[in-house]
Amino acid sequence: MHDEGEPPREATAPEPAPSSSGLLTEIGQLGRAVKRLFGAQMHLLAAELGLARSAISWMLLAGLAATVAGVGFGLTVLGLIGLLLAWWLGSWTWALLALAVLQVLFLLGAIGLFRRCMHWMSLPATRGEWHAMMRDTMHKAEAEAPADRSTEGEHRP
């Protein structure tokens, strides 16, 4: 059972319990490991917040570029429609007047749609749902408030 080169092992007593300095060393190592872990997490969080901040700036810039491009495209299309109307009607005055009428109709349609959406928001079912949601929120807040007040009194000297 023994290898030829190994001397036979004698039964040894179990190792003594680690001394308090060994325990303190392990606790110190644990503390340093936790500190490194949370330091890494904080570094990661800071990097993610930096990326989010940068992404928001780029999103705003992209939105501005899209708006400028959209307005430019709209003006180009209106110019082409005006050119076609001028060719069809034979007069720039009538073409511009027709474009103005089309734009006023589009504006009135957009205003009408906006008003209809606001009306849908004020329908009784919607108002009832809104009030029910607000009542539920208030009841939850009131139910949590007494619990908070009772625990606050325990901590005061």
3-state secondary structure of 10: coil
For the record, the structure tokens of 127 come out as 């108002």
Half-sphere exposure of 103 (CA within 13 A, CB side): 13
Q: Are 83 and 100 in contact (CB under 8 A)?
A: no
Return mean pLDDT, the chain: 81
Give dist(CA 18, CA 45) in Å, integer. 38
Asked if 95 contacts 89 with a C-beta cutoff of 8 angstroms, the reply is: yes
Tell me the mean pLDDT in the region 88-106. 93
Q: Which residue has the higher pLDDT, 18 or 45?
A: 45
pTM above 0.75, yes or no: no
pLDDT value of residue 54:
82
Write the pLDDT tens digit of every residue in 49-81. Answer: 888 888 888 899 999 999 999 999 999 999 999
Q: What is the rounded CA–CA span in Å between residue 125 and residue 6?
A: 89
The domain limits of the chain are: 21-90, 92-151
Q: Residues in the chain, how many?
A: 157
What's the sign of the alpha-carbon dihedral 49, 52, 58, 63?
negative
Question: Is the model more confident about 102 or about 15?
Answer: 102
How many Å separate Cα 57 from the centre of its chain?
14
The CA-to-CA distance between both ends of the chain, in Å, stands at 71
